[in-house]
Structure 1
Amino acid sequence: MDTPRPLVPLPTTGLHQRAGDLDRSAVCDQLSTHFAAGRLTSDELDARLGAAVRAETLLDLRRLVGDLPLAPAPVTVPPQPAPRSPWRAADLLALLAVVGCLGFAALMILVLGLTGQGWLVAAGFGGGCVAALGGASLTHLVHRASRERAADQRDQRPRIA
């Protein structure tokens, strides 16, 4: 009596595998592209689309587009970085305030070096106000630069389709 052999699937080539919905959809898209290029008439397109929907294997689908040239790969354009926003009036004012504060601080050092004690209180009060204004302006400029850097990094991040 023969001993039972284990069931071993027969080797199949890739084209004899069953077609899925994505395979059928891809062939339908190819056929539409060839129709738009003038390679198929509307009757041929209708017949081939119907056959693509009813196709059972990848070989059936391959036969529908086998006589047509391969579609060129789509040309992808690399994303362009977002244009930098122009300097606004607030940005220019903040920059002028920083430069002015630095100039005033240099002038204060000069005044303190040349005068006596009376000017020390006034110069200290004025210098504190100027330093606060300069700090706020510098903070504005730094915040603007960090927002632009974050936007640039977001634009350069690869997209997942």
Structure 2
Amino acid sequence: MFFKDINLFPYLESATNSFLSIELDPLHKFSDKITKQIEHIKEQMNTVIDLMNDSALSLDKKPLKDRLVSHQEDLNERNIQLEEITKQIRFKESQTSIDIIKFCAENFITFYETIADTEKKQLLNYLIKEIHVFKGDKTKDRQIKKVIYNFSTDDLSLV
């Protein structure tokens, strides 16, 4: 089998990194948004604290304390969201995906045999652009003439 002689790791790594980038970009943007919200809430809390501590103002402390508690609840909620997003980002950026890709590339036949038929079809459609065959009277008489890949085999390093 042709794939047995090819190191698919660089190709699979590149494809996976592209997919990860598609997944990571929105997570990073959401993380940035939450971080800005956290900074804004902290500024609002500092303003309320300043108002509470200003002896020149004769403000009722109860509404200020209620406002401070509300800001603290918002801050806690945003911190939890940021922690969850950060966990997702760390997981997606971890070496685990690289290890899985490496295993799949090094053990391609085993990997291929374990995936579902629909996944096999998707993988082959992703890797192979066209297959040219010699004509035959019957289907079983046809032989493969040429395979055109969706990538250059020159870019792959041979094992």
Question: With structure 2 as the length reference, what TM-score do the two structures score?
Answer: 0.46
Name the structure with the higher strand share: 2
Question: With structure 1 as the length reference, what TM-score do the two structures score?
Answer: 0.46
Which one has the largest radius of gyration?
1
Name the structure with the higher helix share: 2
